[in-house]
A = this chain, B = another copy of it.
Amino acid sequence: MNRIEIRLSGFGGQGIILAGYILGKAAALYDHKHATMTQNYGPESRGGACSAQVIVADTPVSYPHLTAPQVVVAMSQEAYTKYAGELTEGGLLIIDEDLVRLNNGAPRQRLYGIPSTRIAEEMGRKMIANIVMLGCLAALDDTVSPDALRQAVRDSVPKGTEELNLKAFERGYTHGQKLLG
């Protein structure tokens, strides 16, 4: 692996930036790689699409700009519309299947869906959908190891919510493993 580009996207309030922060931290602190996390804000970002770009590499990342991501996670229709097209051919696209309706037929990508928001609601806290999604990502993509992500989740979420968030991670991880069959 030289350089993997990952985009996490959705709308404001879904915890997309925190998820990106955790992903980069897991890669660097616990998998001993290098990572950058970039967030773009525009005047339009209030209530609109929200995105965190994470780059993971074996050597320091000198150019933190996404060129063609290998992984796109879309947790809203707007994010899907805006970002799915930039995936490399054969790339991995993960959507919140309740929140994203696909526009076209057979995609060029490996496409997986998870009802991350619904799972989070069932667990009593809608705002942990981002961590459910991270768990699913960990099952479907090996850029960052599941154990590194678990550790980064534990020390990045608000105090007192560690166990709930780790449960959310496992729910997503198990769902992702089932998708692989």
**Interface on A for B, CB 8 Å cutoff?**
17, 21, 24-25, 27-29, 32-43, 45-46, 60-65, 158
Contacts and interface: CB of A to CB of B under 8 A. Distances in A.
B36 A41 contact: yes
Contacts of A60: 40, 42
- A interface, by DSSP: helix, strand, loop or mixed? mixed
Nearest to A20: B39
Contacts of A38: 36-39, 64
Contacts of A33: 43
Nearest to A62: B65
A1 to B, nearest CB: 15
B24 A41 contact: yes
B32 A43 contact: yes
Given A25-B41, A36-B41, A37-B41, 4 more contacts: A28-B41, A29-B46, A34-B42, A35-B42
A10 B27 CA distance: 21
Contacts of A64: 38, 40, 64-65
Please list the 9 inter-chain residue pairs (A to B) with the smallest Cβ-Cβ separation, ordered nearest first: A28-B41, A38-B38, A32-B43, A35-B41, A37-B39, A24-B41, A38-B64, A36-B40, A29-B46
A65 B38 CA distance: 10
A61 B40 contact: yes
20 contacts: A17-B21, A21-B39, A24-B41, A27-B41, A29-B41, A29-B43, A29-B45, A33-B43, A34-B41, A34-B42, A36-B40, A37-B39, A37-B41, A38-B39, A42-B60, A62-B65, A63-B65, A64-B65, A65-B65, A158-B158
A31 to B, nearest CB: 9
Contacts of A61: 40
